[in-house]
C-alpha cells in the first residue's frame, strides 16, 4: 500500500473558483474511501463548500485553507513554523490561491514558501485530516479556517525562514514544542498515527 498511496505533486496551472471548488469536492469524495474517513468531519466540509464555492479563497469570515504536516521520510521529525499572528507553532499552510489547481497543490505551495525546501512527496493522495478552528482577533476579518490537511514528506534539510514564516524548525514527533497552537498536539497525534499506518501498510 505504501507504493500505491504516495505521489508527486505538480502545480502552477491557473484555476478558476469553480475548478478549484470542484477539485476540493473531489478530494473530499476521495477521502470517504480512506481508512480514517470516519474520524474526520467530511460531511460538514462538503456542506460548507456547497454553501458557497467562493469559500475556497479568503474573502468571507470563514473559508477554506490548505496545510501540510511535513515529516521526514522515516516519520521521526516534523517541520513546524511559528505563526506570527497567532504567536504559536503550527504545521505549514495558509490560504489557497489562484495558481492552486487543487487543495493538495495549495498545501505544497505553502510548504515550499514557508520552509524554503523544494522536494516534497505526498504520503497519501487524499487529505489526512480536516480541521475547522476559530481564530483570534489578531487574524482580522478571518474568523475561522476550514483546514484541509495533507501529509507530506521531505528529506531532512535545514529550512529557510522566509517572509511567510517567523521561524521554521524540525521537531522530534514525540517531543513537540510546548508553544504549539491549542489542540494541535492531539490533531498531530491523530495525523501521526494515520501516517504510521500508511508507511507500515
Residue 18: C-alpha distances to residues 35, 50, 108 (Å): 28, 11, 20
Q: How confident is the model at residue 9 (pLDDT cuts 50, 70, 90)?
A: very low
Least confident of 71-80, 150-159, 172-181: 172-181
Residue 164: C-alpha distances to residues 18, 23, 115, 143 (Å): 27, 25, 8, 20
Decide if 156 contacts 170 (C-beta within 8 A). Answer: yes
Mean pLDDT of the chain: 86
Decide if 101 contacts 182 (C-beta within 8 A). Answer: no
Percentage of the chain modeled with pLDDT above 90? 65
pLDDT per residue as tens digits for the range 76-128:
999 999 876 657 888 999 899 988 999 999 999 999 999 999 999 999 999 99
Percentage of the chain modeled with pLDDT above 70? 85
Instruction: Please state the pTM of the whole predicted model.
Output: 0.87
- Contacts by 130-133 with C-beta closer than 8 Å and gap 24+? 130/31, 130/40, 130/41, 130/42, 130/45, 131/187, 132/41, 132/44, 132/45, 133/181, 133/183
**What is the per-residue pLDDT for 60?**
84
The total domain count for the chain is 1
Q: Is pLDDT at 164 greater than 50 in this prediction? A: yes
Q: What is the CATH classification number for the domain harbouring 188?
A: 3.90.79.10
Decide if 78 contacts 70 (C-beta within 8 A). Answer: yes
pLDDT per residue as tens digits for the range 18-59:
899 999 999 999 999 999 999 999 999 999 999 999 999 988
Structural domain span for residue 106: 2-200
Decide if 199 contacts 5 (C-beta within 8 A). Answer: no
pLDDT, average across residues 138-165: 85
Q: How confident is the model at residue 8 (pLDDT cuts 50, 70, 90)?
A: very low
pLDDT, average across residues 66-85: 92
Provide the 10 A C-beta neighbour count for residue 76.
Answer: 12
Q: Is pLDDT at 69 greater than 80 in this prediction? A: yes
Q: Is pLDDT at 13 greater than 80 in this prediction? A: no
Burial class (CB in 10 A: 0-12, 13-18, 19+), 17: middle
More confident residue, 159 or 8: 159
Amino acid at each position: 500500500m505504501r507504493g500505491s498511496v504516495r505521489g508527486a505533486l505538480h502545480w502552477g496551472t491557473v484555476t478558476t473558483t469553480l475548478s478549484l471548488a470542484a477539485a476540493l469536492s473531489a478530494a473530499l469524495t476521495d477521502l470517504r474511501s480512506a481508512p480514517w474517513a470516519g474520524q474526520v468531519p467530511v460531511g460538514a466540509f462538503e456542506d460548507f463548500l456547497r454553501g458557497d464555492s467562493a469559500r475556497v479563497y479568503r474573502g468571507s469570515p470563514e473559508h477554506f485553507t490548505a496545510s501540510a504536516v511535513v515529516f521526514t521520510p522515516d516519520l521521526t521529525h516534523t517541520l513546524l513554523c511559528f505563526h506570527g499572528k497567532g504567536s504559536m507553532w503550527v504545521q505549514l499552510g495558509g490560504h489557497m490561491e489562484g495558481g492552486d489547481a487543487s487543495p493538495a497543490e495549495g498545501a505544497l505551495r505553502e510548504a515550499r514558501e514557508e520552509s524554503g525546501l523544494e522536494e516534497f512527496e505526498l504520503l497519501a493522495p487524499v487529505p489526512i485530516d480536516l480541521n475547522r478552528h476559530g481564530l483570534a482577533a489578531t487574524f482580522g476579518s478571518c474568523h475561522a479556517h476550514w483546514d484541509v490537511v495533507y501529509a507530506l514528506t521531505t528529506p531532512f534539510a535545514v529550512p529557510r525562514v522566509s517572509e511567510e514564516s517567523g521561524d521554521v524548525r524540525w521537531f522530534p514527533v514525540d517531543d513537540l514544542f510546548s508553544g504549539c497552537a491549542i489542540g494541535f498536539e492531539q490533531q498531530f497525534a491523530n495525523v501521526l498515527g494515520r501516517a504510521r499506518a500508511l508507511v507500515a501498510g
